[in-house]
Structure formats: C-alpha cells, structure tokens
Amino acid sequence: MRRMLADAAPTPYWLDRPERPDPAPRLVADTEADLVVVGGGFTGLWAALQAVEEDPGRDVVLLEADLVAEGATGRNGGFCAASLTHGLANGLDRFPEELPELLRLGFGTLEAIAAAVERHGIACDLERTGELTVAVQPWQVDELARLHAEADRLGLRWRLLDGETVRDEVASPTYLAGLEDPDGVALVDPARLAWGLRAACLRLGVRVHERTPATALARDPSGVRVSTPYGTVRAAKVLLATSAFPPLLPRISRYVVPVWDYALMTAPLSAEQRAAIGWRGRHGISDAGNQFHYYRLTADDRLLFGGYDAIYHLGGSTDPRHAQRPETFALLADHLVRTFPQLDGIPVTHAWGGVIDTCTRFSPMWGTAMGGRVAYAVGYTGLGVGASHFGARTALDLLDGRDTERTRLSMVRRRPRPFPPEPVRWGGIQMTRRALAAADLHGGRRGPWLRLLDALGLGFDS
C-alpha cells in the first residue's frame, strides 16, 4: 500500500491551488476599531462577515497569525454539518432536553451558510449530499439501529439500510449496514469557502491583516488593547476565534486541547474506478467505530480519506512539523484499500495533518472576559465547518449583551469539564486512545476506563 504514497505532496490538497489569494498586508501601525476578530479561520471569518452585514457602519479588523484558511479551516474534510452537537448521539448524551431546539437551529445554520454562499457568489463546490454512516463490525449494526430509532423519534428523515442495500449504494465489502441522513450534511471545498468569505469581508470593508499574530490582550480606556508585533489595535470589543492554537486568554487552555488529525487525497478516479465503487449519491461517509474514518468525493472525483488516528502531543504542541506523520499516512493507505480494494494502487497526491480544537463535550463552548468586552467560541472537535457559523453568531450576541434564543441555551451558558493539568492530561488522553481501540476490537464493549469517563461526563469517541 505504501507505494501509493510515493509522490504525495506534504501539503493540504485544498490549499495547493493557483487561485490562493495573495496575503493581505500585515498590521504595521497603531489603529482603532469597533471590533477586533482574532483568527482567520471559519469562526473568525463568519464573525467578521456577520458583524458588518448586520451593521455596515461597524469598523471591523480581522487579525490572522498566518494566512486565512492555513489552520484547521483549510485542512479538514469539507463536511459542512447541520449538527451543533458533534452528531446526534453526542447531543442525546449531553443536551437531551434542548436537542429539538438545537436541531432546529442547526438546520437553520446550514440553510444560512448555503444562502451566504449564493449571496456572495462563493464558488466552493457546495453539494447537499447528506451523509452515510456505515457499520463495518457486527456490533455497530445494533448501534445504527438504535440511533435510527432516536432519529425517528425526533422527526428526522433518516433511513436505515441493510448490508445489501448499502453495498449497492457504495461498493465496499466492509459494509454490514448503513444509516443515511439525507438532509444534515453538505460537502464543500473548505479553502475556497474560506477564501470566498475573506473576499466578501474585504468587499464590505473589513480590514484584514494576515501574518499578524495577536500577542497580548489588555484592558484599555476605550475597551481592549490587542498587541501585535508591529502595531496595536484599540477596540471596544474583541472576539477570539483561535481554534486549537494557544489562546490569548489562559483560561481557555483548561478546556481545549489540540489534537492532530490526518488525511490523504488521491488522484482523480478514472471512469472505471468510479463505476467500480458506485457512490451515486456522493454522500459524505463515516464509519461507526470509536476510532472512525471519514471520506468523500471531490468535485473532480478525487477521494479524500482521513481520520482514525487522533494524536495528542505532550504539552499540547501545535508545532507544524506534526502535520507530517508517515506512520499514520501508511495506516490510512492500508485502510483505504481495505475499504475499496477496487482502488488498490491509485496514487495519493497529497498527505497532510491538521490540528483540531477538542473539548471534553466534543462540541463548541463559549465564554466572555474583561467585563464582557471579550468573547470566544472554541472546541468544535472537527465539526466546525458548519457549526462555526452558529458559534460566531452566538459569540457576537454575547459581545453585544443580547438576550437571544442562542444565548439562552444551556449549551451556551454551561462550560464543559476542564482537562486536568499536564502530565496527567497527556496520560489520560493516551489511556483513552488505547481504551477506544480495545473497545473497537471487543464488540464495542467499553472497559473500566471508558465507563469511568462516561460516569464523569467525559465519555470519549475518536
């Protein structure tokens, strides 16, 4: 399988494009603004765009330490999910009473994203494909049936597929059953979406400064002072959208850890290869394991295949050298061919990693600081492509002191449990990874460590 990786470029496929925009200028002077957004990923871009769409007179500055989309935004699978809770099962476990409201708000968020893409003319290959979750071990068949019953109770149009039906849909010999969600997921080109949002922000007057890391926050008579290497911004309000990277507010580090995720992208499938795997519905697909894979087709029929290995480094390192991990790429190549033996030998053109902001409830969290002048939204745990729109809108509500259906949610008002300090944090995460792998090998049975985490409200999946 490793021969597939011989010529793989060590960079995200999405970012390896000639249409990547030239960098916006660094901030090189002191300035003032009504709102400073720190972070040029999806949360920061949606926050800046929604702020100026709502109030065209609002003076907004967006600061990005690297280039827009260089972080998790340009390194994910492009699954734009309606779920705000990192999937239905996690929502049932953590927010059962308000889950119907969260489902409604999530579907509204997906519609709002599609409308913004159309309104701003963003060419990001948005496809309303839905998602297919597949069982690849016998114990997962029962899990899908249980989840289908819950979806049916909540009025969702999910469809439970037996093995023959799901293999007729997508021709993998590993599939034993499937659960189709036709409405809750769109696929996008994440970098083109981010670049389109950046262009829309610039057209509407947002001042974007790339290669401008924010280095400190401090109170100021005008509100908050944001320091950067070559200039300072004084602003009435600040919205932090720093994802998994070291935050300007130390308190965030108690709740969010950076976990590395990896993906491969193949060359475009030939007509024969495409016919051999079927996949007529072009769903985004994930399997139902604790350590799971996600995969999809691109607009030009490449196959993106990622997930399974989730790597945490002692001290929460986000060193960019971690983006290359040959042992994980080899493992993913092996799993790709096991899933689709029809594609054995297809070249992998790109292999990369990216860092995910994970919290103990696997869904976003919010907070404020400095007397409400600073707000943040972090912790998306890999489903931020869609939920970031909601996260940004809610953070803006918190900054403006608004009482809205979003800010009244217990999901927004409550914080997850914090992670323990190092080195206990690192040790606990490694124990959890081993326990998840063991559960997958033993019929999904959760051993003593996972049952303890479940009892503490820290139940993990991949």
Distance CA 158, CA 83 (A): 14
CB 366 within 8 Å of CB 408: no
Kindly report which listed range (180-184, 251-255, 401-405, 452-456) carries the lowest average pLDDT score. Answer: 452-456
Task: Map the chain to HEC letters.
Answer: CHHHHCCCECCCHHHCCCCCCCCCCCCCCCEEEEEEEECCCHHHHHHHHHHHHHCCCCCEEEECCCCCCCCHHHCCCCEEECCCCCCHHHHHHHCCCCHHHHHHHHHHHHHHHHHHHHHCCCCCCCECCCEEEEECCHHHHHHHHHHHHHHHHCCCCCEEEEHHHHHHHECCCCCCEEEEECCCEEECCHHHHHHHHHHHHHHCCCEEECCCCCCEEEEECCEEEEECCCCEEEEEEEEECCCCCCCCCHHHHHCCEEEEEEEEEECCCCHHHHHHHECCCCCEEEECCCCCEEEEECCCCCEEEEECCCECCCCCCCCHHHHCCHHHHHHHHHHHHHHCHHHCCCCEEEEEEEEEEECCCCCCEEEEECCCCEEEEECCCCCHHHHHHHHHHHHHHHHCCCCCCCCCCHHHHCCCCCCCCCCHHHHHHHHHHHHHHHHHHCCCCCCHHHHHHHHCCCCCCC
Instruction: Label residue 33 by pLDDT band (50, 70, 90).
Output: very high
d(CA 118, CA 62): 23
Question: Quick one: average pLDDT of 436-442?
Answer: 79
Rounded to two decimals, what is the model's pTM? Answer: 0.96
Confidence of residue 1 (pLDDT cuts 50, 70, 90): low
With b for 16 or more beta-carbon neighbours within 10 A and e for fewer, the 110-119 pattern comes to: bebbeebbee
Q: What is the pLDDT of residues 119-133, one digit of tens each?
A: 999 999 999 999 999
Two structure tokens written together for 377: 């939204």
Q: Give CA–CA dist 9/19, Å, rounded.
A: 18
- Mutual orientation of helices 42-54 and 190-203 as an angle, nearest 10°? 30
Q: Indicate the pairing of strand 232-240 with strand 31-38.
A: parallel
pLDDT, the chain, mean: 95
pLDDT given at position 459: 61
pLDDT at 68 over 90: yes
Helix axis angle, 424-441 relative to 448-455, nearest 10°?
120
Q: How confident is the model at residue 321 (pLDDT cuts 50, 70, 90)?
A: very high
Token output for 266: 């193949």
Retrieve residue 305's tokens.
């295949």
**pLDDT number for residue 371:** 95
Interacting residues of 345 by C-beta distance below 8 A, sequence separation 6+:
3, 4
Residue 327 has pLDDT above 60, yes or no: yes
**φ and ψ at residue 416, rounded to 5 degrees:** -70, 170
| Type of residue found at 154 | L
Task: Provide mean pLDDT across the span 203-214.
Answer: 98
pLDDT of residue 281: 95
**pLDDT at 178 > cutoff 50:** yes
- What residue type is assigned to position 58 of the chain? R
**Torsion angle defined by CA atoms of residues 209, 214, 218 and 224, in that order, rounded to the nearest 10 degrees:** 20
Whole-number percent of the chain with pLDDT over 90? 90
Q: Provide the pLDDT confidence category of residue 306 given band limits of 50, 70 and 90.
A: very high
User: What digits encode the pLDDT tens for the residues 340-370?
Assistant: 999 999 999 999 999 999 999 999 999 999 9
Bridging pattern class, strands 31-38 and 60-63: parallel
Is the per-residue pLDDT at 462 higher than 50?
A: no
Tell the burial category of 239 from Cβ atoms under 10 Å away from its Cβ (0-12, 13-18, 19+). buried
Report how far residue 88's alpha carbon sits from residue 311's, in angstroms, rounded to the nearest whole number: 24
